[in-house]
């Protein structure tokens, strides 16, 4: 009995500390928050979140919230960024960099590159003296006075506070954009995000002419045309019975260009990935999203039990990066 | 050294080395400071309990400050406890110590640490500090320790600074920080009262609290007298001050083990920290004498478990 009481007391202390961390933000919100909102509203680009570890996870959640409330967002991993993913960033974008200390090396390393690209930089961190805070155009203080974890080994209060600040940003943006119930329905046709992820893939996949498709004996040139035309960044490769044999992505073409002098005349078989990820059309959207996140891919082939291509989905489409369309309709 | 902000990190609550005649043990003080300085972000001298400040005469306090400043030479800030049994005596001590520092133009950072409820009630505290801060060029740190106030023989209505009073006190720019002991609810309320002062630091005055739920300003540590390096590592890790050092693969495990060690260490010296730690420092040839003021109760044990623990775990 005594043990339970001690555990409950400890749990209450943790909740008290975390709640206090969020409450402290109320007094701290200032003109820089308003400037951040203005900056996002006036931007022609997207909001790109970046962060590592638990800050990265928090960044992904805020990104998802912004996407589902009408602000196009995406997540950029700081390590992947320096290995090519920075290509996704344009001068019109706003980058929100998240770090509890503001000293995270991987994050600090990409700041000069981001600034050179001309993006606007907003820091979500807890130390105004940190390199991240100093290098950013705006500093939003999400610092907390106390972590709720022994020795502060795991960020607890600080991640809660950052998440809450992200929600504050999303809600203020909703109001500023006058995002109404109709808009919300457009982004959540299933009712809630949960409902949406539980519907069958076959209900949301691109089908028919929307599927980028080439035959195994076609050339790379024809494949590039197909990818360009269907605008999903990849094309499926099939045999005469539409059985999936492979996939060619933008990345495969990039690698082929480095390997061969002239790739246009090559057969697509030479450059395709021969073990494409696929999923049954009867599965749920959530399973497709999990599979794509696990394999770090953005395009997934949808097949029937005989591995015949029935459709294709893109991660951004499933997560709300664009309007959610039933059966891939326009 | 101009001080605009109180330091962040480990504040070592230093024992006061005394010789067998009851004077400051100069060599012992030097050796102890030499041991802790590389790891401390600040050092607290003459603290009421650990530094036996409540039992030190004004002459001893003056000697202590003089000798410590000569050794520290501005490398880290010094916190010095100035509270006496009345406002007048506290002011007198402050003036004397201030004059001492002026006499040799000490350039290092100094913070006067004051436990206001030790000699004053909550009522009129704002006016008291307005007067007190006018008499000095050095900033102040408040010390809220209900345990200390409860030790006083005279009954007091309150043993904590009231939150509304603290809010008023933070309007005085020279008050830079607070060392806090007490309930989590109270420190949360204090924190709310301090929102207008982002430069204001709140240090944990309780080692256990810091090891459980670390504050972001730092900790006042008794154990750092004997294990300054481990305390520094844990504090810096908890406050995110490690930088590149945390790249070691088993960094989390190392900090966890160090935290456990510090808790075990505390269990040993907790019944009588001054007596036990001084005895171990004598065993380790850091200070020369095991002398304490009359304010410290003797605590006899057959073997010195703390020294054995230090040797067993090769604590430096």
Tell the residue number behind the tokens 């539980």, with chain if given.
Answer: A198
Cβ contacts of A11-17, under 8 Å, gap ≥ 24: A13/A148, A13/B184, A13/B213, A14/A148, A14/A156, A14/B213, A16/B184, A16/B185, A16/B188, A17/A146, A17/A147, A17/A148, A17/A156, A17/A157, A17/B184, A17/B188, A17/B213
Helix residue ranges per DSSP H, chain A:
2-28, 31-42, 54-68, 78-81, 105-117, 131-135, 157-177, 181-187, 193-198, 220-230, 250-259, 268-271, 285-295, 315-319
Flag whether pLDDT at A195 surpasses 60.
no
In the three-class reduction of DSSP (H, G, I as helix; E, B as strand; rest coil), residue A74 is classed as: strand
Cβ separation A151–B238 shorter than 8 A: yes
* Residue A186 pLDDT level (bands cut at 50, 70, 90): low
**Residue B104 domain boundaries:** 9-312
Q: Which regions of chain B are under pLDDT 70?
A: 1-4, 154-157, 243-249, 301-303
- Which residue among A13, A144, A153 places its CB closest to the CB of B216? A144
- Can you give the pTM of this predicted structure? 0.71
Looking at residue B246, what is its pLDDT?
A: 56
Q: Let me know if residue B3 belongs to a domain.
A: no
Measured between beta carbons, the chain A residues lying within 8 angstroms of B196 are: 27
pLDDT at A198 over 70: no
User: Is B82 a member of any domain?
Assistant: yes
Q: Do B195 and A149 touch (CB under 8 A)?
A: no
- The Cα A184–Cα A173 span in angstroms is 13
Judge contact between B280 and B304, C-beta under 8 A.
yes
A269: which 2 tokens? 């078989």
**Separation between Cα atoms, residue B305 and residue B316, nearest integer Å:** 16
| Residues in contact with B145: Cβ distance below 8 Å, sequence separation at least 6, in sequence order | B48, B115, B179, B181, B182, B205
Residues 44-83 of A with CB under 8 A from B: none
Nearest-CA distance B36 → chain A (Å): 21
CA–CA distances in Å: residue A235 to residues A268, A287, B41, B141:
10, 22, 60, 67
Angle at the Cα of A153 from the Cα atoms of B268 and A146, rounded to 5 degrees: 85
Side-chain half-sphere CA neighbours of A94 within 13 A: 22
The reply to whether A2-179 and A194-328 are identical in fold is: no
Q: In 3D, which of B111, B94, B115 has the Cα closest to residue B161?
A: B115
Q: Is A100 on the interface with B (CB under 8 A)?
A: yes
In the predicted structure, residue A324 carries a pLDDT above the cut 50: no
Order the strands of the A299-303 sheet from edge to edge.
A278-280, A299-303, A309-314
Residues of B with CB under 8 A from a CB of A: 184-185, 187-188, 191-192, 195-196, 198, 202, 211-217, 234, 237-240, 243-244, 252, 255-256, 259
A75 near A49, Cβ under 8 Å?
Answer: yes
Average pLDDT over all residues of chain A: 85
Report yes or no: B11 and B37 within 8 Å, Cβ to Cβ: no
**Closest alpha carbon to A82 in A104, A112, A57, A61:** A112
Say yes or no for a CB contact (<8 Å) between A145 and B255. Answer: no
B1 within some domain: no
Only one residue has tokens 């490690």, namely: B242
Chain A: nearest CA to B241, how far in angstroms? 8
Sign of CA dihedral B305, B311, B314, B316: positive
Structure tokens at A317: 């489409």
* Total domain count, chain B: 1
Q: Exposed e or buried b for every residue in A32-48, given b needs 16+ CB within 10 A? A: bbeebbebbeebebbbb
A210-228: average pLDDT: 92
Q: How many CA atoms lie within 13 Å of B239's alpha carbon, on the beta-carbon side?
A: 23
Cβ of A27 under 8 Å from any chain B Cβ?
A: yes
Alpha-carbon distance of A280 to A309, in angstroms, equals 10
Distance CA A147, CA A159 (A): 10
Distance from CA of B141 to the nearest CA of A (A): 18
The C-alpha atoms of residue A323 and residue A299 are separated, in whole angstroms, by 17
CB contact under 8 A, B256 and A153: yes
In sequence order, what are the beta bridge partners of B177?
B141, B201
Give A189's pLDDT tier (boundaries 50, 70, 90): low
Question: Are B238 and A144 a contacting pair at CB < 8 A?
Answer: no
Q: What is the pLDDT of residues A27-83, one digit of tens each?
A: 889 899 999 999 999 998 999 999 998 999 999 999 999 988 888 898 989 888 777
Residue from A19, A132, A151 whose CB has the most chain B CBs within 10 Å, to mutate: A151
> From edge to edge, which strands make up the β-sheet containing A138-141?
A73-76, A47-51, A94-99, A120-125, A138-141
Is A160 in a helix, a strand, or coil?
Answer: helix
**Which residues of B are less than 8 Å from A27 in CB distance?**
192, 195-196
Q: Do B215 and A149 touch (CB under 8 A)?
A: no
Min Cα distance A237 → chain B (Å) is 43
Instruction: State pLDDT tens for residues A67-118.
Output: 888 888 989 898 887 777 778 888 899 999 999 888 888 889 888 888 888 8
Contacting residues of A for B209, CB less than 8 Å apart: none
Every domain of chain A and the residues it spans: 2-179, 194-328
Q: What is the pLDDT of residue A181?
A: 53
Measured between beta carbons, the chain A residues lying within 8 angstroms of B216 are 126, 143-147
Interchain pair A152, B239: CB under 8 A: yes
Q: B184-193 and A2-28 are packed helices; what angle lies between their axes, rounded to 10 degrees?
A: 0
Residue ranges of E strands in B126-268:
140-144, 175-180, 201-204, 218-221
B240 Cα to chain A: minimum distance (Å): 6
A163-167, A201-205, A219-223, B52-56: the lowest-pLDDT one: A201-205
State the ipTM, two decimals: 0.75
DSSP letter string, A76-129: E-HHHHTTTGGGG--TT-EEEEEESSS--HHHHHHHHHHHHHT-EEEEEES-TT
- Residue given tokens 């520290």 in the structure block: B72
Instruction: Classify burial at B51, counting beta carbons within 10 Å of its beta carbon; exposed 0-12, middle 13-18, buried 19 or more.
Output: buried
| Closest listed residue to residue A120, CA positions, set A133, A106, A138 | A138
Does B2 reside within a domain? no
Residue B230, classed as helix, strand or coil, is helix
Cβ–Cβ gap B188/A13 under 8 Å: no
CATH pick for A2-179 out of 3.30.420.40, 3.40.50.10490, 2.40.10.120, 2.40.50.1020: 3.40.50.10490
DSSP secondary structure letter of residue A146: B
Residue B4 lies in a domain: no
When CB atoms are compared, the residue of A17, A24, A141 closest to B213 is A17
Q: What is the three-class DSSP state of A239?
A: coil
Q: What is the pLDDT of residues B194-246, one digit of tens each?
A: 878 888 999 999 999 999 999 889 999 999 999 999 999 999 988 887 765 55
Q: Determine whether the interchain pair B239/A20 forms a contact, defined as Cβ–Cβ distance below 8 Å.
A: no
Cβ A132 vs Cβ A123: under 8 Å: yes
Backbone angles phi, psi at B221, to 5 degrees: -115, 130
For residue B235, count other CB atoms closer than 10 A to its CB: 28
Cβ-nearest to A28 among B195, B217, B259: B195
Q: What is the DSSP letter of A267?
A: B
Residues in chain B closer than 8 A to A105 (CB atoms)? 244
pLDDT beyond 70 at A179: no
Architecture of domain A194-328: Roll (3.10)
The CATH number covering residue B166 comes to 3.20.20.70
Tokens at B260, concatenated: 């456990």
């Amino acid at each position: 009995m005594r043990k339970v009481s001690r555990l409950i007391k400890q749990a209450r202390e943790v909740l008290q500390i975390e709640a206090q961390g969020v409450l402290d933000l109320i007094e701290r919100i200032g003109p820089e928050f308003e400037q951040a909102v203005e900056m996002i509203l006036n931007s022609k680009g997207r909001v790109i979140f970046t962060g590592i570890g638990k800050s990265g996870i928090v960044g992904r959640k805020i990104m998802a919230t912004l996407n589902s409330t009408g602000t196009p967002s995406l997540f950029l991993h700081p390590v992947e960024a320096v290995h090519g993913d920075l290509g996704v960033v344009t001068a019109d974008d706003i980058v929100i960099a998240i770090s509890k200390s503001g000293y995270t090396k991987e994050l600090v390393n990409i700041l000069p590159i981001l600034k050179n690209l001309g993006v606007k930089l907003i820091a979500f961190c807890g130390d105004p003296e940190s390199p991240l805070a100093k290098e950013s155009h705006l500093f939003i203080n999400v610092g907390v006075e106390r972590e709720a974890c022994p020795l502060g080994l795991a960020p607890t209060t600080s991640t809660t506070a950052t998440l809450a600040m992200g929600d504050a940003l999303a809600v203020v943006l909703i109001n500023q954009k006058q995002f109404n119930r109709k808009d919300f329905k457009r982004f959540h046709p299933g009712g809630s995000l949960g409902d949406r992820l539980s519907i069958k893939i076959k209900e949301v996949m691109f089908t028919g002419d929307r599927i980028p498709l080439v035959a195994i004996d076609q050339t790379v040139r024809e494949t590039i045309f197909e990818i360009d035309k269907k605008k999903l960044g990849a094309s499926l490769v099939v045999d005469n019975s539409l059985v999936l044999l492979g996939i060619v992505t933008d990345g495969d073409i990039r690698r082929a260009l480095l390997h061969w002098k002239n790739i246009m005349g090559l057969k697509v078989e030479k450059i395709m990935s021969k073990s494409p990820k696929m999923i049954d059309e009867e599965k749920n959207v959530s399973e497709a999203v999990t599979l794509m996140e696990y394999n770090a891919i953005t395009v997934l082939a949808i097949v029937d039990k005989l591995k015949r291509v029935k459709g294709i989905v893109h991660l951004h489409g499933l997560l709300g990066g664009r309007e959610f369309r039933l059966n891939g309709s326009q | 050294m101009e001080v605009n902000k109180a330091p962040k990190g480990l504040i070592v609550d230093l024992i006061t080395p005394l010789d067998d005649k009851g004077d400051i043990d100069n060599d012992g003080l030097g050796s102890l400071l030499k041991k802790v300085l590389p790891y401390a972000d600040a050092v607290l001298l003459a603290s009421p309990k650990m530094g036996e400040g409540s039992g030190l005469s004004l002459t001893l306090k003056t000697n202590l400050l003089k000798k410590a400043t000569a050794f520290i030479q501005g490398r880290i800030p010094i916190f010095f406890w100035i509270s006496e049994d009345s406002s007048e005596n506290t002011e007198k001590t402050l003036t004397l110590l201030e004059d001492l520092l002026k006499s040799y133009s000490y350039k290092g950072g100094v913070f006067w640490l004051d436990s206001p409820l030790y000699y004053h009630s909550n009522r009129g505290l704002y006016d008291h500090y307005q007067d007190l801060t006018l008499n000095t060029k050095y900033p102040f740190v408040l010390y809220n320790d209900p345990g200390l106030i409860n030790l006083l023989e005279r009954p007091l209505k309150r043993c904590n600074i009231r939150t509304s009073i603290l809010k008023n006190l933070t309007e005085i720019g020279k008050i830079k920080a607070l060392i806090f002991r007490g309930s989590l609810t109270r420190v949360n309320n204090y924190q709310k009262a301090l929102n207008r002062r982002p430069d204001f630091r709140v240090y944990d005055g309780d080692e256990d609290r810091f090891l459980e739920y670390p504050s972001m300003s730092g900790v006042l540590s008794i154990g750092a007298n004997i294990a300054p390096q481990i305390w520094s590592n844990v504090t810096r890790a908890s406050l995110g001050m490690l930088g590149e050092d945390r790249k070691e693969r088993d960094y989390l495990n190392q900090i966890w083990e160090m935290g456990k060690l510090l808790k075990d260490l505390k269990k040993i010296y907790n019944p009588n920290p001054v007596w036990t730690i001084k005895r171990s420092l004598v065993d380790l040839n850091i200070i020369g004498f095991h002398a304490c003021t009359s304010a410290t109760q003797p605590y006899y044990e057959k073997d010195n478990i703390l020294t054995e623990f230090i040797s067993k775990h090769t604590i430096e």
